[in-house]
Structure 1
Amino acid sequence: WIINEESFLKDSKTISQLKLRASYGLTGNAEIGDFASRNLYRGVNYAGVGGTRPFQLGDPNLTWETTNNFNIGLDFGFFNDRISSTVEYYKKKTTDLLLNAPIAATNGFSSITQNIGDMQNQGFEFSLNTRNFIGEFKWSTSFNISLNRNKVLRLVNNQPIFTGGRFLGRVAVGEPLGYFYGKAYAGVDPSNGDAIYYIDASRTATTNDYSLAQNQKLGDPNPKFFGGLGNHFSYKNFDLDVQTQFVSGNDIYNMAGVFQSANGDYFDNQTVDQMNYWTPTNRVTMIPQPRFNEGNGTSPSSRWIQDGSYLRVKSVVLGYNIPKEIANKYKLQNLRVFVSALNLFTITGYKGFDPEVNTPGGASIQSANIQLGHDFYTPPQARTITFGINLGL
């Protein structure tokens, strides 16, 4: 509904655009590879005798994953769109989620592709564009922010999915996808330097026996909000573009901490904070006593879950357009020189290499489906400085 074309707004000198829109639709997803519903076999040779063996465990009831998508939004502009903005609410419900679900190894396979449940995503998106100065000196700004809330609505047999091992991601009804689940680290026993863990979710009692600590919810890899801010400036033949991005409220499980921040083991070079380990004269610390190859506090836990919020200056580009009369002398329509910087700097409290991380990589179920926000030696993004020339013939 283009409201600004109605008679009561048509002659407005302030509102240049006002549009209300809504949509609803269904989309399907079957990106699971060919023949995933079939039990497959392949040839094998054993002791010089040919034969066959199971190659894939199939689910004959496998079907499409379907997403119901509803959104409603408002587009508006003021002063001949010198200020323009969009506000949108969306709600997506996905049914028959496709997932490589883990199964008992006694089946001969570690996972099977199944429709395991339903999930909902809903949230708000907001964008704002302004032309702050429009004279010889020009300055425009673009800003966007998104808030998404994710929740699993249904699982087959209401059975949570948790792979364990080094990984903390879990899927359970009523919780966000891939939330962190495991042992809660409580610090160090000041009397002897033992790593201690909370016994249960009440977090009132502790134990130095890792096996006695109950698994509990530890964090959420899904951000509370994320977005970006861009500014573009130009004056005569000069132009400057600055793009920043931000993420807030997400947790990251720094898996490399099990090796990099575990001073009693021998796996890796250690982080500086390990120098503050427990000693008889340094009893108040979160770093347990180093005990060679004993694994004092090195098992997967909340010890290495950290705030993944960050603000990053993603790109900066400074350019200069050579005057046309000079470019034309060299039979060029235009000539521009520029210098650009990518990943200029990042402000974050995260102790790993790079907070802009999602999964640890690899081809296993652990990395492919539910292990969000796991950082296993993810290489940091390089800071890149580029000098260039644009030629127009």
Structure 2
Amino acid sequence: MYVRNPDGSLMVNTIYNRPIYDYGDGKDYGNGLMNYARSPQGNPAGDLVYNREDYLADVFDGKWYAILTPIEGLTLTGTIGYHVDNTRIHYSHNRLYGASASYGGQNIQIQQRTRSLQYQGIASYQRTFGDVHNMDLMVGYESQGLQIEQVQAAGQNLYNPDNWTVNNTIDQRNGYGYQSNLVHRGIFARAKYNFDGRYFFMASFRRDASSRFHPDHRWGNFWSVSGAWDVAKEKFMQDQRTWLDMLKYRISFGQNGNDAIGTRYLAYADQYQITGADGIFSDGTLAYKGNPNITWETSNSFDTGFDFSFWQGKLSGSIEYFQRQTSDMLFNVPVAPSNGYTSVPMNVGSMRNNGVEIDLNYRVFNTKNITWDLNANITFQGNKVLKLEKTLLDEEGKWLSGSRIFREGESMYQLYLVKWAGVDSETGWAQYWAKDADGNEYATPNANEAYNTNRQSTGNLMPKAYGGFGTSLNIYGFDISASFAYQFGGKVMDTGYQHLLGSGTSGLGNAWHKDILNAWTPDNINTDVPRLATAAQYSYGSYTCDRWLTSSNYLSLNNVTVGYNIPEKLLGKLGLSTLRVYFAGENLALWSKRKGLDPRQGYTSSENYTYSPIRTLSGGLQVTF
């Protein structure tokens, strides 16, 4: 991390009076040239000391509304919301060390203004007829406008190391600015009806527009219907009410629209970069390839199930079947760079998720001084790609995107990888399964050969089920609760572990996993960790393949809370209604197949550069007067 003197002490920069950090650049810091350099060069700890980043924001949020009730049951509501965020960002990259040292450092100033304005008007009418017919009607209109404006300037070669302004630079000064706008419009209506609290019906419709799409494809229509029946309230169930509190059957279907695709707010239009000099404009270069034919992505959701409660709430819960089918999925499809652009926004196909959810709550004790509850839920889920854009598919009907493979009728959560063949016990080299011209597999240390002849699908990597469970206990004023989450039955690429068993060709400054101690040697030939060597072949030792697939099962302790409520008879003299002392912990523990592996990061891979949820400990007093 640090540059040291020959006696082992830290070398200090006399200008800043701070330690000098080792950036792996091989420079001479006063004791001769460092005897090595590494790539990439950098030192995050040094950057925190010598570089500067400031984020300054002025934010305003306002909401105004008016409510009118001209006649009984009719309510008119108008709402205006306004948000503005003026953010200033200062970057000062020092002139002595790191990526900007070669040109004397760099200062960057950014001013960004984000403004949004929302209007909404709603008319609702509620009425009850004959004490059993309950009606609720609603219509409305809404508008949302978002505008982002940014100005940025940058310069190189700093004069004063403590001044972050661009005026403090003398070289390569430049600036630019842009403005982006996004507008949504929508009209909607909803009708709800229930008969005597036993039969429930609801229907809704909305029509939305997005400025991301071409005017010919800007509007989308979305609707929903639902119904429910509370069986327990029927007369023929009267004899069961001693143990049956509620038994409600429900069924629903609904649609939602999605227009999000990338960061471009005009996804349908080709966009060009202005170029030229000395008052002469050049033909603009294509900066973004639009698609005037894209339109709304639609999600169709269906679910049906039962809600129940027995024995005055001692046991309650729900069980349901759900199906989520997404059509016209929005995706920036990669294309050959020779086209002059690297991707095109498209509606590429449809996909289905379906499964069963079970949610249970059980009250173990319910007395004056003791209450103990248990809860648990589990979801079994499947996934299938239903349709893909034909232009994306090869002659075998598959679409390859990096290490991902997509095929109709199969899960989207699968990878297309080289097969690991273990370690050659004689040489210690990593081996992979390749295929010859006749389709026969053979082991080879050449991973590229295996990649070109024998990549195969991993199959569905999704967990078979996921869920959570917890408990809460209140006993004589003390309370304690805990919640857990889990999943099982899937696999994930442990890329963090892969990198920690990485190449030995440039190991200076790299970290290794302790399993590297089990690497092949002439005395340790029966191992699955390849030999350590500086030869180029070792670069295949951590090649991306199915070697790194690991169980994605996990159990996490998400929350524990402990508290105590001071008895009311002790609070009277203080003029307080309640006083509670508590301690809480969030994201306290995670148990997985390998230490450092967090399967919660994704269904296909767990990245070593993504932080897990931060563990938080807190405590305090809750007072009510």
TM-score (norm 2): 0.57
169 and 332 in structure 1: CA distance in 2 versus 1, 3 angstrom threshold: farther
Residue 527 of structure 2 aligns to a residue in which SS? coil
Q: Which amino acid aligns with 1:257?
A: Y
The aligned residue for residue 362 of structure 1 is none
Per-residue deviation at 1:203? 9.7
191 and 48 in structure 1: CA distance in 2 versus 1, 3 angstrom threshold: farther
Please, which of 263, 268, 288 is the counterpart of residue 530 of structure 2? Answer: 288
The aligned residue for residue 346 of structure 2 is 114
Q: Can you list the C-alpha shifts for 1:50-101, whole angstroms capped at 9, x where unaligned? A: 3322121012221111122221111122112221121110122211111111
Contact 2:566/2:580 (8 A) holds in 1? yes
Q: Which amino acid aligns with 1:11?
A: D
Q: Determine whether 1:39 maps to 2:276.
A: no
The whole-number CA distance in structure 2 between the counterparts of 1:302 and 1:373 is: 12
Contact 1:354/1:378 (8 A) holds in 2? no
Q: Can you list the C-alpha shifts for 1:286-321, whole angstroms capped at 9, x where unaligned? A: 100112262032221122221121001111100001
Q: Pairwise mapping of residues 157-176 of structure 1 onto structure 2 (< 5 A)?
A: 157=390, 159=393, 160-164=398-402, 168-176=403-411
The whole-number CA distance in structure 2 between the counterparts of 1:224 and 1:106 is: 42
Residue 248 of structure 2 aligns to a residue in which SS? strand
191 and 307 in structure 1: CA distance in 2 versus 1, 3 angstrom threshold: same
Q: Pairwise mapping of residues 148-297 of structure 1 onto structure 2 (< 5 A)?
A: 148-157=381-390, 159=393, 160-164=398-402, 168-199=403-434, 205-213=442-450, 214-218=454-458, 220-262=460-502, 264-265=504-505, 266=507, 268-292=510-534, 294=536, 295-297=539-541
Q: Determine whether 1:26 maps to 2:255.
A: yes
Contact 2:447/2:540 (8 A) holds in 1? no
**Cα-Cα RMSD:** 2.2
Q: Determine whether 1:60 maps to 2:282.
A: no
Please, which of 245, 252, 275 is the counterpart of residue 16 of structure 1? Answer: 245
Please, which of 292, 298, 308 is the counterpart of residue 76 of structure 1? Answer: 308
Q: Pairwise mapping of residues 375-386 of structure 1 onto structure 2 (< 5 A)?
A: 375-386=607-618
Please, which of 231, 236, 241 is the counterpart of residue 3 of structure 1? Answer: 231
The whole-number CA distance in structure 1 between the counterparts of 2:550 and 2:458 is: 10
When structure 1 is superposed on structure 2, of 155-164 and 285-294 the one drifting more is: 155-164
Per-residue deviation at 1:193? 0.7
Residue 297 of structure 1 aligns to a residue in which SS? helix
Q: Can you list the C-alpha shifts for 1:14-56, whole angstroms capped at 9, x where unaligned? A: 2221111111222222123522121112323468753322121
Contact 2:495/2:608 (8 A) holds in 1? yes
Q: Which amino acid aligns with 1:296?
A: Y
What runs of 5+ residues in structure 1 fail to find an aligned partner? 360-371
The aligned residue for residue 281 of structure 2 is 50
Q: Pairwise mapping of residues 301-316 of structure 1 onto structure 2 (< 5 A)?
A: 301-316=545-560
Q: Which amino acid aligns with 2:502?
A: A
138 and 293 in structure 1: CA distance in 2 versus 1, 3 angstrom threshold: farther
Q: Which amino acid aligns with 2:602?
A: N
Per-residue deviation at 1:205? 3.6
When structure 1 is superposed on structure 2, of 337-346 and 349-358 the one drifting more is: 349-358
The whole-number CA distance in structure 2 between the counterparts of 1:291 and 1:163 is: 32
Contact 1:230/1:243 (8 A) holds in 2? yes
When structure 1 is superposed on structure 2, of 263-272 and 145-154 the one drifting more is: 263-272
The aligned residue for residue 365 of structure 1 is none
| Number of residue pairs matched by the alignment | 377
The aligned residue for residue 325 of structure 1 is 569
The whole-number CA distance in structure 1 between the counterparts of 2:601 and 2:243 is: 43
The whole-number CA distance in structure 1 between the counterparts of 2:613 and 2:484 is: 15
When structure 1 is superposed on structure 2, of 46-55 and 89-98 the one drifting more is: 46-55
What runs of 5+ residues in structure 2 fail to find an aligned partner? 1-228
Contact 2:496/2:606 (8 A) holds in 1? no
228 and 46 in structure 1: CA distance in 2 versus 1, 3 angstrom threshold: farther
335 and 375 in structure 1: CA distance in 2 versus 1, 3 angstrom threshold: same
The aligned residue for residue 89 of structure 1 is 321
The aligned residue for residue 345 of structure 1 is 589
Per-residue deviation at 1:162? 3.0
Larger fraction in strand: 2
Contact 2:504/2:534 (8 A) holds in 1? yes
The whole-number CA distance in structure 2 between the counterparts of 1:357 and 1:250 is: 13
Residue 235 of structure 2 aligns to a residue in which SS? coil
The aligned residue for residue 379 of structure 2 is 146
**Seq. identity, %:** 31
The whole-number CA distance in structure 1 between the counterparts of 2:384 and 2:266 is: 30
Per-residue deviation at 1:118? 1.1
The whole-number CA distance in structure 2 between the counterparts of 1:240 and 1:88 is: 30
Q: Which amino acid aligns with 1:226?
A: Y
Per-residue deviation at 1:124? 0.7
The whole-number CA distance in structure 2 between the counterparts of 1:351 and 1:253 is: 14
TM-score (norm 1): 0.89
When structure 1 is superposed on structure 2, of 259-268 and 273-282 the one drifting more is: 259-268
Q: Which amino acid aligns with 1:308?
A: S
The whole-number CA distance in structure 1 between the counterparts of 2:462 and 2:281 is: 50
Q: Which amino acid aligns with 2:267?
A: A
Contact 2:304/2:322 (8 A) holds in 1? yes
The whole-number CA distance in structure 2 between the counterparts of 1:70 and 1:99 is: 24
375 and 250 in structure 1: CA distance in 2 versus 1, 3 angstrom threshold: farther
Per-residue deviation at 1:122? 0.7
When structure 1 is superposed on structure 2, of 324-333 and 266-275 the one drifting more is: 324-333
